[in-house]
Chains A and B, each alone.
Chain A
């Protein structure tokens, strides 16, 4: 029997507010343990939460950017469960009236467009971090709690089970990441846990409507793990079903080193969270005017930007897709062309040399030693004929290690193209005299033979001759 995978994601995204969701503590990553804490986020007796308005603002923006309906009456609830990293033993979250619901995003996998529906987006507080003496809480003699992360604001973005493959799940998560980056609400640094996903996977015979039994993989924090976990799980469940067995509804962990999922706890032990409206916080009321103001304040989103690059700037859909996948990349691109650089050349250089060099040094585009202005200026030197594309690679390398403007590098290294017809004239004559064979071939009608002559001239000028000019001059000379 042929099976179809059904995949849904719950994405947790830490918001980049300066302070925590219910108190004034800083949210910064990597601080010394238990230094970003106060009575409120430590859950001491008697404390009360106060909502950080920026969190609500960010959540509404995320809702609008993913085509959700914003609930004008929303509230916080207490989700009760005991765990030592949760100081109050309840998480202040949202239950039946989340801030945003019923949205969607469009993804593109191998040229095929697909719409993924969002069930809801809600706000909640993050828990602290357990530091074990062993590897897990069970095999540790002692465990310590670092409360720095306690109360860092999170958005939980829940999708409908609309994805059918690991590639679709990845494309969906990439789209969510890019939207959150575009609207500037999360740093989305997966390696720092800013963005992580719980994945639900089930299988069903192709054509069947009802969903199969699902398993859940928690806290996946890289795209690679996301794909591997889903692929492994599909394969594992297929085997179980083909052997006539039943998939057990359970939570599984993904072992990234081994690339496999392992059973963690079955759903029968699932907890009753005993949700209760948070009595310490009044409901969150949002007016139509506020929602409209947030909507108007949204920046151009990845899909719109991609379309603009394709249709107005003439980029291929592939190039436009890659450049707009991250806001930083798209902003960089827009700056390059704002300098007056050609859009296609800009795209080629960004996806070629620039990406190659950044990857080699594991740098993000924000950390690029060559800023958009310098790259734009360099590209203009190509378009106006000052340097050839070949020479431009040398200029690019020089720019990577110095802060000099491309014009200065070209000048100092004497890389300016030879466009002086007088200077070229004598070189051309020398080459024609030294190469009678291609000259003969050209004259007898093999126009391609001119290439050999151009090659010789470029060699003699160390690539500095303007190839277009050389071609024109040669054609003129040989037709005489």
Chain B
């Protein structure tokens, strides 16, 4: 019996009932990884020995009759921009190729109390900049549903690992859609919590005011359980929310009667792929059939979200990435003097997309341009936030596509960054407004690629989002579909 294709909550029950051991499970997932990794390339670092050691500990606990926690003994992947003490954290960049953090990110500290089996660090676009995982300095990741396609990004490694069975669940990070869009491309569940819900301490910063860590899972049940574990205030992150963490599993109720759902007309316009449009509308109709109250709403500043995002995010990135200079950690390329050394290091060790965003960011912040670009972007950001505040006076959640297209071919957009940026149209507004959003599978395109339904909530409205997503998921069977990997499963 394969174990790699089951969600964590099922495996947890099996472990607790001693139907399987954690070593068995871990070996099954590692065997699956050995089989698919050549085609998928979801990982940068695999921590096989540590994983098996943790699994053995879990098994000892189980056999001695001790209770195990929800994630205990279950294999997971961690996006490689989340610091793990003693395990290389590269951000898929040459500049951190051999960087081993001396500390754990707060999410890792929290997870470790649960003793999950961390089996590796997953691939991403360098420093989380991109939407296809093609910008990794090491290798591209392939979509398990069609290995010629991208898995989305930047958490493409995490999404592909979960979709291909080389992890049961994974952590990602989302700055402009980097959890939700790859979840949608890979047919899995991905959630970006409210900004500040999960501590960012130890998440290598791309754009500090937008970054947020979240889970990528097989289903909404796993998502709610993991959110319970990673959420909460952190003294090490001044931007983390002090609000109490509810038990999100209480929202796993398949009932949306009377739930008010808004359909933003700006998200269903030209440029949205026909298959996406149909699948998402069908999903919303399904919710309506279950008793939800659906109405059209307007988010009038949606059109400015991309431009706003691509000024704010690069500006923050430009300063966040200044520290990579070869002086005290990371890679160094020598030079004639210290300035030369810094120049050589940054020129040779950063990839093109990272350099592009650093240049855009510095331009936007430079004297004489600040007001016209950066300051203006901050003002538009406020307008976008206001759109949502207004909309949420009338509705409980907003439903729309996660991405305007299904997964596209590797290399298709790599030379057209602007076209690639437009892919973020449905996801970036949430980051600008700090809102929670989830992507759940809602069907397939005519060529068999998964499509995601995005459900957006009020600030700290994760419970309602989870409830709507769970109700929809339970009405369908998409979450039980597993990708058939070309050349492996076919």
Q: Which residues of A contact B (CB under 8 A)?
A: 39, 42-51, 78, 80, 82, 84, 87-90, 137-138, 143, 145, 147, 272, 274-276, 279-282
Contacts and interface: CB of A to CB of B under 8 A. Distances in A.
A282 B102 contact: no
Contacts of B337: 137-138
A43 B103 CA distance: 13
Nearest to A130: B338
B365 A49 contact: no
A43 B330 CA distance: 12
A50 B327 contact: no
Interface of B: 81-83, 89, 91, 96, 99, 101-103, 105, 200-205, 207-209, 235-239, 315-316, 318-319, 322-323, 325, 327-329, 337-339, 342, 362, 365-367, 370, 374
Q: Which of A45, A90, A279 has the most CB of B within 10 A?
A: A45
A280 B238 contact: yes
B325 A46 contact: no
B238 A46 contact: no
B91 A45 contact: yes
Given A87-B327, A137-B338, A48 B236 contact: yes
Contacts of A137: 337-338
Nearest to B237: A48
Contacts of A44: 83, 101-103, 329
A47 B337 CA distance: 28
Contacts, number: 104
B243 to A, nearest CB: 15
Contacts of B370: 274-275
A50 B234 CA distance: 11
Q: Which of A42, A43, A274, A275 has the most CB of B within 10 A?
A: A274
Contacts of A51: 238
Contacts of B102: 39, 44
B322 A145 contact: no
Contacts of B316: 276, 279
16 contacts: A39-B103, A42-B329, A44-B101, A45-B96, A45-B204, A46-B83, A46-B101, A47-B201, A50-B236, A90-B319, A90-B322, A145-B327, A274-B366, A276-B316, A276-B319, A280-B208
Given A44-B101, A143-B338, A50 B315 contact: no
B238 A87 contact: no
A275 B202 CA distance: 24
B204 A46 contact: yes
Contact of B202 (A46, A147, A279): A46
B201 A82 contact: no
A217 B236 CA distance: 38
B370 to A, nearest CB: 8
A78 B367 CA distance: 14
Contacts of B362: 274
Contacts of B101: 39, 44-46
Contact of B328 (A82, A145, A281): A145
B419 to A, nearest CB: 28
Given A45-B96, A45-B204, A279-B208, A272 B328 contact: no
A280 B203 CA distance: 12
Nearest to B367: A272
B238 A50 contact: yes
Nearest to A34: B328
Contacts of A279: 207-209, 239, 316
Contact of A276 (B236, B342, B374): B374
Given A46-B101, A49-B238, A145-B327, 12 more contacts: A44-B83, A44-B102, A44-B329, A45-B83, A46-B202, A48-B236, A50-B236, A87-B327, A88-B322, A275-B365, A279-B207, A280-B205
Given A45-B83, A45-B89, A279-B209, A50 B235 contact: yes
Given A45-B83, A46-B203, A145-B328, A84 B374 contact: no
Contacts of A143: 338
A45 B321 CA distance: 9
A281 B238 CA distance: 6
Given A44-B101, A272-B367, A279-B209, A82 B325 contact: yes
A274 B365 contact: yes
Contact of B322 (A42, A46, A82): A82
Contacts of A49: 238
B325 A89 contact: yes
Top 4 nearest A-B pairs by Cβ distance?
A89-B322, A279-B208, A274-B365, A279-B209
A272 B239 CA distance: 28
B204 to A, nearest CB: 4
B323 to A, nearest CB: 5
A70 to B, nearest CB: 21
Contacts of B205: 45-46, 280
Contacts of A78: 319
Contacts of B202: 46-47
Contacts of A46: 81-83, 89, 101, 105, 201-205
Contacts of B201: 46-48
A80 B319 contact: yes
A89 B374 contact: no
B201 to A, nearest CB: 5
A39 B329 CA distance: 11
B99 A45 contact: yes
A432 B342 CA distance: 93
B367 A87 contact: no
Nearest to A138: B337
Nearest to A147: B328
Contacts of B200: 48
Contacts of A90: 319, 322
B328 A42 contact: yes
A48 B209 CA distance: 12
A44 B235 CA distance: 18
Q: Which of B208, B319, B338, B374 has the most CB of A within 10 A?
A: B319
A282 B239 contact: yes
A432 B89 CA distance: 101
Contact of A87 (B82, B209, B237, B323): B323
